[in-house]
Structure 1
Amino acid sequence: MIGDAALASMFADKMMTQNIYVIGFSFPVVPKGQARIRVQLSARHTEEHINRAVDAFIAIGKETGLIK
């Protein structure tokens, strides 16, 4: 959960620069103030894929100030 729609969109764009495809959802798909990132996993994703995505979430989260 990110909250801010612009930040969710920017976060998703930054993830794409790391070759990790996620979607930022905001109003009217979700209630105002509850923008978020959607991640979809499949059985074909490996542990390495997941770890790389988690590492990107952490790095971008720190870069954007969502993680202190």
Structure 2
Amino acid sequence: MAAAGFTISGNDHPICPVMLGDARLAAAMADDMLERGIYVIGFSYPVVPKGKARIRVQISAAHSDEDIDTCVQAFTEVGRKHSIVP
């Protein structure tokens, strides 16, 4: 995800916040991800501080490498659609 241009907060944890900053963007991207079959949640104020909106991604041992690759590909496509990544 970082290589694709996303800012990921935290290391070595199953919850990987994809930092976006804007609440509407986080909600729109989460909706677009759901349309691609990837269930993620957009969080914004008051759940997180203003200006720190994010999409919460949770990885588990049940996810295969293929699952993770599919998720990264979907994030990349959606990120390009919303001009977040090149």
Would you call these one fold, judging by a TM-score over 0.5? Answer: yes
2:32 is the alignment partner of 1:14 = yes
Instruction: Give the residue type in structure 2 aligned to 1:9.
Output: A
Instruction: Give the residue type in structure 2 aligned to 1:34.
Output: K
Picking from 27, 49, 52, the partner of 1:34 is 52
Q: Which runs of 5+ in 2 are unaligned?
A: 1-18
More helix by share: 1
Q: Deviations over 1:3-45 (max 9, x none)?
A: 1100100000000001000000000111001100100111110
| TM-score where L is the length of structure 2 | 0.77
Q: Which runs of 5+ in 1 are unaligned?
A: none
After the TM superposition, which segments of 4 or more aligned residues of structure 1 sit over 3 Å from their partners? Answer: none
Instruction: Give the residue type in structure 2 aligned to 1:20.
Output: I
Taking only aligned residues, the RMSD between alpha carbons, in angstroms, comes to 0.5
- Mapping of 1:1-68 within 5 angstroms? 1-68=19-86
Identity in percent: 54
